Every structure is written in structure tokens, then in C-alpha cells.
Amino acid sequence: MEGLWYEGFSNESVAMDIISILQAVVMGVVEGATEFIPVSSTGHLILAGEILGFSGPQNEVFDVVIQLGAILAVVALYFEKLWSVLIGLPTEVKARKFAMAVLLAFLPSAVLGFILHDFIKGYLFSPVVVCISLVVGGIAILFVEKHQPKHKVNTVEGMSARMALKIGAAQCLSLIPGVSRSGATILGAMMVGVERKTAAEFSFFLAIPTMMGASALDLWKARDVLDFNALGLISVGFVVSFVVALLVVKWLVGFVGRQGFGPFAWYRITLGIIGLALILAQRSGVAL
């Protein structure tokens, strides 16, 4: 019996399990910290996975599904608002306008993401694409911050159907890893006249159906390769991302109101340039 125990639970296998769990914790921290700020959580997860050598289930579903932990943080923080919308749908115009804005903004990326899912996963999930997108997105943020039109809307309920669809079209850009779902949504909202803090909050609400849909699609497509160990690591990342996102969402709205999105733009540009330099050096055979 003792021999069988050691065969199934060797020191080496236990050490590998601990390393995998620690890596999942780090990935959860990265996800929770970046999901709602305009720096691309998917891009950061790809880069973090590359650095950590995290070769577990993230190749199939990990990166997307742990984002549900961050989404659950939004549901928890805005539960009263979301619940009032839900129960007010049959009778309240404001509740129906809120739901309409979220639904219309969700539809474009839902349709395009479903059609292009395999292409995106097969060809765009790479560190090079992420780094280029980080730089380009950072420049776009600086441009919008400087040239945004005067805001006309201060609430989600005040958005028209056309505005919501335009924001949804902007969110489609985030299908490219490194662009940032929250960043594309926020910039799209600001460009159609939504006030900065309202744009940030709308990106939180829009994340709920968007990431739930993406996670459901990834889980379904990877149903044949998931095992108990994979689900365990995903659960670790899920819980960690939930806790970290709770803190970030509370902080973000106040920070954006005071500082704007400029600091995130410069962070994106710096990280993207450093990443490209490291990739180029690695491919050139330069010792780092």
C-alpha cells in the first residue's frame, strides 16, 4: 500500500501540483486586476502565461472562464442596481431602457465572436499580437482623451438605441487580444457622448452578458478535454479573480473621475514596447 501511495503521490507530482496552483493564483490576480481597467485582461493573461510557463487548461478555457470571477464581483457590487432593473422591467421605463442599452451593445460582439471564435483562438492569441494591440490601444486612449466630444449622457438609461449599437460595434475590436474589452467599450461610449464615469460603469454592466457568453462557448467547445485537475485550477483562478476584482472596481470609478484614462494609456504603450523588444531579442537569440 505504501508503494502505491508513493506511486500516485510522489514528491515530484505534489511539487508540480503546488506550482500549478500558485501559477493559477497569479493568473487570477492578473485577471482580477486588469479585467475592468483599459489594459486588456486577455492580453495580460497571455503574457503572464508565457512568462510563467503555465501550460495547463488555459490553452482551452482558463483565460476566459476565470474572467467570470471578475464578472461576479460586478454582480455583487451592483446587485441592488441590477436587481431593481430586473424587477422593474415589466413596469418601469428606466429599467427597460437600461436593459435595452446593455442588450444592444452586447449583440454585435456576441454575433461576431461566435462566427470568428476558432479563427481568433487559432491565429490571434499570441504575445506579438497582444503587444502591438497594447501600443495601438494606448495611442487611441490618448487621442480620445484629448478629442472626445462634449458629453451628452450621464446615465445608462439615457443612452439611445443607436448609441448602444455604436458602443457594441466598438466592443467588437476587443475580440483582438490586447485591445481590451473595457477599453474599447469605454472609448466607444466616450466618442458617442457618454460621460467618462458613466462609460466606465456601462463597461462593467456590459461585461456580464459578454463574458458569460464567451465562457459558455469556450466551456462547450473544450468539454472533451476538461478533467478534474483542470477544473480545480480554473476554480482557484476564479475565486482569486473575484476577490481582486472587488477591490479594483471600487477603486476604478473614483480614479477615473480624478485622473482620466491617460495613466493606463502610457502603461499600455510602455508594456507593449517592452514586450515587443523582449520577443525580438528572444527570436534573435539574444541572451536575456
Structure confidence by residue, pLDDT tens digits, 206-249: 989 888 887 777 777 766 666 666 678 888 888 999 999 999 98
Q: What confidence score (pLDDT) does residue 260 get?
A: 86
Q: What is the pLDDT of residues 106-132, one digit of tens each?
A: 999 989 988 998 888 788 888 999 999
- pLDDT category at 5 given cuts 50, 70, 90 is very low
- Boundaries of domain holding 169: 2-283
Domain assignment present for 118: yes
How many domains does the chain divide into?
1
Domain assignment present for 288: no
Integer Cα distance of 96 and 159 in angstroms:
12
Q: What confidence score (pLDDT) does residue 267 get?
A: 95
Q: What confidence score (pLDDT) does residue 211 get?
A: 81
Helices then strands (H, E): number in the chain? 13, 0
Q: What is the pLDDT of residues 7-58, one digit of tens each?
A: 554 555 555 578 888 888 999 999 899 988 999 888 888 888 888 887 655 5
Q: The C-alpha cell of 220 is what?
A: 462547450
Domain assignment present for 127: yes
Question: 153 pairs with which residues across the strands?
Answer: 194
Question: 194 pairs with which residues across the strands?
Answer: 153
Residue type, 162: R
Give the containing element (helix H, strand E) for 137: helix 127-147
Domain assignment present for 159: yes
What is the share, in percent, of the chain residues with pLDDT greater than 90?
A: 45
Q: Are 168 and 209 in contact (CB under 8 A)?
A: no
Domain assignment present for 58: yes
For residues 79-107, average pLDDT: 94
Q: Are 180 and 38 in contact (CB under 8 A)?
A: yes
Domain assignment present for 163: yes
- Name every residue whose Cβ is closer than 8 Å to that of residue 268 and which is 6 or more positions away in sequence: 38, 39, 40, 134, 135, 137, 138, 141
> Residue 2: is its pLDDT beyond 80?
no
Q: What is the pLDDT of residues 184-194, one digit of tens each?
A: 999 999 999 99
Residue type, 215: S
